[in-house]
A = this chain, B = another copy of it.
Amino acid sequence: MNFLEERIVRDGIVKPGNVLKVDSFLNHQMDIALMNEIGMEFHRRFAHKPITKVLTIEASGIAIGYAAANAFKVPLVFAKKSKSINIEGDMYVAEVESFTHKNRNQVIVSKKFLGPEDHLLIVDDFLANGCALQGLISISESAGATVEGLGIAIEKGFQIGGRVIRNLGYHLESLAIVDAMDAETGTITFRPQV
């Protein structure tokens, strides 16, 4: 097991309905040392790519995005989920459906911050059905930017998102892929990684 899988086994909680709670270290309370390690691991896995910016989506994606952008020493751009009165002018917009909140959101990035010159690493904390990532890919393509890769902390391997993204030909790296969970025993089965 790698460092993130070990932490998930130690502090993650499996709940009925295939819910994995990692809010004590990843997405409500955050262990910043762990976050820094995730950022460095993304850097290791995408070191050969000419990343110019990291792209993520609010809210908990911002911390993962910070860690990655800090490791690559490039700016972070985060997509917003609803139209803010402080955003104006031309914007890239994609429609995404949230798995967690069961609603639809517009994902928005100002056209000022993405363009054909950009080589993007797209990151997020969780990948389940992948609608958020699909929205970020859609926005990147609209901008004419190059999606060099996608980095995820925890992928739910039994949901469709990862397969869709890989089928589309994108380089997706998930640091921990959960293939099965058992709420009764608390057992978590990870997909073996090379």
Contact = CB atoms under 8 A, between A and B. Distances in A.
Interface stretch (A23-31, A158-166, A178-186): A23-31
Interface string A55-84: 000111011001101100111111010001
A84 B101 contact: yes
B19 A86 contact: yes
Contact of A100 (B23, B73, B84): B84
Interface residues of A, number: 40
Interface string A13-27: 000000101011000
A86 B63 contact: no
Contacts of A84: 100-101
A10 interface: no
B77 A28 contact: yes
Contacts of A77: 28-30
A32 interface: yes
